[in-house]
Structure 1
Amino acid sequence: MSARVGVAVMAALLALYILLVGWRAVQFLQTGDPVGIAMGVALIVLPLVAAWALGRELWFGVRAEQLARRLEIEGGLPDDVVATTPSGRVTRDEGDAVFPRYRAEVEADPSDWKAWFRLSLAYDAAGDRRRARGAVREAIRRERVAER
């Protein structure tokens, strides 16, 4: 739940930033000065990009959570018994040990979104967040295709 609170706070701060920058952009546009107008246009474009990026990340989080819940309900989450740290994170050695199984699952059926999602969990357990996010994105794409 604390992650959701953090996301909400960051989203609210970004929304405030977008509003303040948008207000400043209007002020620059009203100056009539070419440099002021150029700055105003730039200040309109940058918050739009920020809003798009925020929306994309929030949607990614929502979809990833939906897939995790669905996989949990179907009983498809990994059930490996692994050592964890006191905070509950899988130890890196244990994460590395279970990783080949989930990679082989994806290689056996690359169209299976469930295999991609489990692979993302293995990447995360192994400490590779970049690849974990990529695997979740692939799971979202594959699930969308499977639902059609």
Structure 2
Amino acid sequence: MSARIGVAIIAACLLLYIVLVAQLAVMLIGTGEAVGVAMGVALIVLPVIAAWALGRELLFGVQASRLGRMLEAEHALPEEELDARPSGRVLRHEADAVFPRYREAVEQAPEDWRAWYRLGLAYDGSGDRRRARAAVRTAIRLERASRRA
């Protein structure tokens, strides 16, 4: 629950930033001076990009959480009990030890969103956030395709 509160606070701060920058952009464009108009147009682009990125990340979080709940309901989440640091982060050498099993599961069933989601969890436990997110995005795409079929 604290993660959701943190996300809400950060999203609200970013939304406030978007509104303030957009207001400044409109004021600069309203000056009618070439430099002010150019700066105002540039400042409009920044909030648009920020809003797009915020929406994309929030959607990713919602979709990833939904898949996690689905796996939990199926009792299909990884069951390894790995030691963790006081922060709750899994010890990397322990995550690395179980990682090959999840990689092999994806190699054997590359169209199984469940295998991809578990691989994402394994990547995350190993500390590779970029690959973890990519694996979970693949799981989201495959699960969406399976619903349409």
Of 30-39 and 95-104, more deviation after overlay is shown by 30-39
Q: Could you say which residue in structure 2 is the equivalent of 1:142?
A: 142
- Aligned partners of 1:42 and 1:57: how far apart in 2? 23
Q: Could you say which residue in structure 2 is the equivalent of 1:87?
A: 87
Q: Deviations over 1:34-65 (max 9, x none)?
A: 11111111111110110000000000000000
Paired residues for 1:109-128 under 5 Å: 109-128=109-128
Q: Deviations over 1:97-134 (max 9, x none)?
A: 10000000000010000000000111111111111111
Please list every run of 5 or more consecutive structure 2 residues that lacks an aligned counterpart in the other structure: none
Q: Deviations over 1:52-107 (max 9, x none)?
A: 00000000000000000001001110112322233333211110010000000000
Asked whether 1:9 is paired with 2:9, we answer yes
Q: Could you say which residue in structure 2 is the equivalent of 1:51?
A: 51
Asked whether 1:75 is paired with 2:112, we answer no
SS in structure 1 opposite 2:138? Answer: helix
Q: Could you say which residue in structure 1 is the equivalent of 2:33?
A: 33
- Aligned partners of 1:7 and 1:146: how far apart in 2? 29
Tell me the TM-score normalized by structure 2: 0.95
- Aligned partners of 1:48 and 1:114: how far apart in 2? 34
Please list every run of 5 or more consecutive structure 1 residues that lacks an aligned counterpart in the other structure: none
Count of residues paired in the alignment: 148
CA RMSD of aligned residues (A): 1.0
Q: Could you say which residue in structure 1 is the equivalent of 2:131?
A: 131
Identity %: 64
- Aligned partners of 1:42 and 1:114: how far apart in 2? 43
